[in-house]
Amino acid sequence: MIISNNHLKENIRNIEIKILLFLKKYGLILGGIVMIIVSLIGVRNGFIEQKITEENRIVNVRVLELSKSRSNYYLKLQHDEKSFVERIDATNFRKVKGKEEIQMLTNEEHSKFIFPDSFKKNIAFS
């Protein structure tokens, strides 16, 4: 069966109209749900950092690599023979640059690492 070009364009246009009508009807609801999910993720991460800070479990980690991608900075570190990559800010990037080993706070599982002052800095903006 051969579909004409005009028929194909008409079908695409009908689909576009259906999508726009769906977004008009449910767009605010979907946007609200997305905003709530993003907010909950941020709150969860804040609680994790707060717990790590309160437990004050300081460990020495080996700096494997520092890298920059556009405006994001990354720290590749090693602890207990496992490698981790953490996103860091420019201030911590400058603090770590040139060092082979640093102290960081970690959770009980040793799976998440934060700088000792990072929770205090984040609280200042809330």
- Confidence band (pLDDT; 50, 70, 90) for 125? very low
- Confidence band (pLDDT; 50, 70, 90) for 1? low
pTM over 0.75: no
Burial 54-67 (b: 16+ CB within 10 A, else e): eeeeeeebebeebe
The CA–CA distances, whole Å, from 59 to 25, 80, 108, 111, 113 equal: 52, 10, 11, 12, 9
Q: Does 1-126 carry CATH code 2.40.50.100?
A: yes
pLDDT tens track for 74-84: 999 999 999 99
| Residue with the two structure tokens 């200042």 | 124
Mean pLDDT of the chain: 89
pLDDT tens track for 103-122: 999 999 999 999 988 776 55
- State residue 5's pLDDT score: 79
